[in-house]
Amino acid sequence: MSLRFALMIVPVDADDEREDYASTFTVVDASAPALSVGELSTQRGDGVFESIGVIDGHAQELEPHVRRLEHSALLCDLPAPNHEQWRQAIAVAASACPPGEAVIKLILSRGVEHGPTPTAWVTAAVAADFTSVRKDGVRVVTLDRGYDLGAGERAPWLLLGAKTLSYAVNMAALREAKRRGADDAIFVTNDGFVLEAPTASLILRSGDRFVTTAPSAGILHGTTQLSVYEHLSAQGFSCDYAGIRTSELLAADAAWLVSSVRLAAPITAVDGSPIPVDPQLTADINRYLLSPR
């Protein structure tokens, strides 16, 4: 996935109400160095980000992503993003995307150490081809996250509900999944509850009821999961948030990992044990997720 476009942003106050923020954007060479060696995003992962799926130049779920960027910034004590400035930056990046599927990334970091302002930029790239994954699914393994279900509320400084640039643990989990012969991982608590995947939300089906882990468990509230729930609710299904026992994974009638770019990937096996797959519903969900939203 190579970058096609990069836009550096001079962040403005959240209460700045100008109509046009074009003067705060600078298009830069996506293949050239652009950050200082003192940048805290690279030195410490001290920042937040969002990945937005783009379909034929349309940025999907724009508002939920901007709101979640704001939420992550709040949790990390970063200045509140100016919503309109980021909306306009996303529009500029989306216009640079070719037909088909692409991905826009929003990055907001604390900037250079002891510097006066945060650093912010937006990038755009052609998305990887997830056609086969959406159809054939993924095998997952469960990995102990190392804390109990109440850790997120008890220790907010762990930033468990923020989408931060500190992704080393997530990437290590994916490598461990590969070592175990799986495609992806699902984090679980040490007291037996399901959390989320390293880069996706989990949705389970039991009859006509769909359930995902409650955000209070210290997980990232998925924008794609919210879209899927909206779609399923419109069809009369029950969509809930709850604490999910690890044992419920194998008892599910179907399960999916959902994210902004991969979309809905059916889970075919958990820790080597197969689980049912619903190809028709999976195709329906992905058709919806590929439609403008």
Percent of the chain having pLDDT more than 90?
Answer: 92
Single-letter amino acid, residue 238: S
Identify the band that residue 146 occupies on the pLDDT scale cut at 50, 70 and 90. very high
Place of tokens 């969002």: 50
The residues, any chain, with a CB within 8 Å of residue 49's CB and separated by 6 or more, are: 69, 105, 106, 107, 108, 163, 164, 165
Please say whether the beta carbons of 11 and 82 come within 8 A. yes
pLDDT of residue 116: 84
Which CATH architecture describes the domain 3-126?
Answer: 2-Layer Sandwich (3.30)
Please give the model's pTM, rounded to 2 decimal places.
0.94
Percent of the chain having pLDDT more than 70?
Answer: 100
For 229-287, write each residue's pLDDT tens digit.
999 999 999 999 999 999 999 999 999 999 999 999 999 999 999 999 999 999 999 99
Q: Is the confidence at residue 102, as pLDDT, over 90?
A: yes
For 161-210, write each residue's pLDDT tens digit.
999 999 999 999 999 999 999 999 999 999 999 999 999 999 999 999 99
Q: What CATH number does the domain located at 131-289 have?
A: 3.20.10.10
Q: Where are the domains of the chain?
A: 3-126, 131-289
Mean pLDDT in residue range 34-55: 93
Specify the long-range contacts of residues 95-100, CB closer than 8 Å, at least 24 apart: 95/57, 96/4, 96/5, 96/124, 97/4, 97/5, 97/54, 97/57, 97/124, 97/126, 98/4, 98/126, 99/56, 99/57, 100/55, 100/56, 100/126, 100/127
Mean pLDDT in residue range 23-36: 92
The whole-angstrom separation of Cα 55 and Cα 58 is 5
pLDDT of residue 33: 86
Please say whether the beta carbons of 207 and 253 come within 8 A. yes
